Amino acid sequence: MARVPWPAVADTVRHRPPVDPNGVRAPVVLRLPAEPGALIMARQVVTGVADAIGMPDDAIADVKVAVTEACTNVVRHAYPDGPPGPMTVAAWTGGGRLMISVRDVGVGFCDDGRRTSGVGLVTIAALAADVGVRSYDSQGTEIVMAFPAP
Amino acid sequence: MTRQRAPIVHEVAGRTRVEPRGELDVDTRESLAAAVARVAVPHARIEIDLRRLAFIDSAGLTTLIEIDRDVTARSGTPPRFLVAESGPIRRMIELTLLHLSLDIRIG
């Protein structure tokens, strides 16, 4: 998958939410354990954000699936050894887009052959208007998805 | 918070219908797979009724493929999947072209 220009700057050390180019903090940040039971919480929060900004139902459904795919990837692959680590879901708007970031501090895409671009990322690419993937050196991975916002 | 409830299993016109409800993802797929696995075969015709499902992702779609293989291997007949005419389930199935390889009935 092609990497797209990074729309946000994240604090990779302290695992802070991303900051957009104008320095505005992500308005919604959710920190969850990277475990299956957290998926529904992530879905519900992004659904609330998408609904609050007036996205139509079919577009909200796409956002839900894409975020679930990104979070499932974290749950399955980011922390192969030991207990589930953190997973941060952040959502913000700007430039007519809803941006959603899913970030972990586990095994990066480049660190582990098991963490490949599977069906989850393909699904995200099919549903989102834009996708960016950043793998931090041994400090996890972040996927940022953009969706058209009203 | 809405959790997936256990699938309903009942007989409809000579078929065994398994009806998952709520959301189907990596966290909830096991309950559907287990419900289908408990259906006695080889003679039963199995329907998976997805019309009361509100959400599905690729893990859920993969579960449908696994169920299709499992039921076909056990009974010799692929299961039939019932999908609502509109909504996210049909969209995801058609987006991934699963309607071309599974026995999907819309409506």
Q: CB-based contact (8 Å) between B30 and chain A?
A: no
pTM of the model: 0.83
Give the whole-number percent of chain A exceeding pLDDT 90. 56
Tell me the residue type at A72. Answer: T
Higher pLDDT, B10 or A119: B10
Q: How confident is the model over B49-95, as pLDDT tens digits?
A: 999 999 999 999 999 999 999 999 988 899 999 999 999 999 999 99
Structure tokens at A99: 């941006």
Structure tokens at A120: 């989850």
Q: CB-based contact (8 Å) between B92 and chain A?
A: yes
d(CA B88, CA A60): 10
Structure tokens at A11: 């604090």
Q: Which of B55, B56, B58 sits opposite A120 (nearest CB)?
A: B58
Complex confidence, ipTM = 0.83
Q: CB-based contact (8 Å) between A61 and chain B?
A: yes
